[in-house]
Amino acid sequence: MHYENGYEGGGGFLSSPFGESASTPTGTKRGGAAAQNLTPVSIKQLLEATQIHADAPFKVDEHELSQITFIGIIRRQSEQSTNVSYIVEDGTGSIDVRTWLENDDNEIQQQKRAQLVEGIYVRVVGQFKQFASKRHVVAFSMRPIEDYNEITHHFLEVVYVHLFRTRNPSVKHEGEQGYQPSFSGDPFNPTGQYGNQAYKQPEPVYGNEFKPSHKAIIYAIKSFPDTNEGVHVESIAQKLSSQFGRAEISQAIEWLVGEGHLYSTIDDDHVRCTD
């Protein structure tokens, strides 16, 4: 996964998804240097995150939190008129996760929400908040875990990022440009080596619903330079033109966006990966 803008020397942790030009579910823009990171966390880390004052951003390992991702099991859920609240627990703690209800939710969105039931593991991507001294997460994406290897993968990432930030003397905090590892592997091999780092990023875990076109699009996007603007869909179509038709690529990108694997950046024709 790409977690942080200028992530300093980590094995494959380069510029983040959810950059400054990314849109929230309500269509507003998020900006600022501190908003350019997606951090894998445990719930315990969220509960122990610190602030220097009430209006300051939360920090974990002295790094500001903007977008976060974690995996846990739904223990309880309740639906109100404007949102659904889930209590999610990951073995280190539990936290309230909220998803907002839209008046124009279509049948597919309703079906996805119906899958989020008590007792299942879910991947949450969202923003960490505090209101009236109670901490919670506003989810941009929340989906069931289909391959339980993803749980192990996630906690390995949490440990790796924590150790890298706390034990690597070359790590700098937000606002400072760190070393950018150079990608030297096959552009369609997500486990390619990064520079001289000993760490090799685990291959992403994809569910059975992934088609060859879905995987090819994600690998194609990751073969381009990682920028806040993302990759134009035309560039993706050209790279994969020998394998898939334009219509199939367009449908696959739409599915990946709908499932939370991609998101639009500066406009609907530019996309980035969320992992």
Tokens 């949102």 belong to residue:
83
Would the pLDDT of 78 be above 90?
Answer: yes
- The predicted-structure confidence for 116-137, as pLDDT tens digits, reads as follows 999 999 999 998 988 878 899 9
Which CATH number, 3.40.50.2000, 1.10.10.60, 2.60.120.260, 2.40.50.140, labels domain 38-167?
Answer: 2.40.50.140
CATH entry 1.10.10.10 includes domain 212-273: yes
Lowest-confidence segment of 13-27, 55-69, 150-164, 233-247 by average pLDDT = 13-27
Task: Please tell me the distance from the alpha carbon of residue 144 to that of residue 59, in angstroms, as a whole number.
Answer: 27
3 state SS of 37 = strand
pLDDT at 184: 32
DSSP line for 56-89: SPPEETTEE-SEEEEEEEEEEEEE-SSEEEEEEE
Alpha helices for the chain (secondary structure H) = 43-47, 107-114, 149-167, 212-223, 233-239, 246-258
Structural domain boundaries in the chain: 38-167, 212-273
Whole-structure pTM value: 0.55
Pairing of strands 134-144, 94-100: parallel
- The predicted-structure confidence for 140-194, as pLDDT tens digits, reads as follows 889 999 999 999 999 999 999 999 888 876 655 544 433 333 333 333 333 333 3
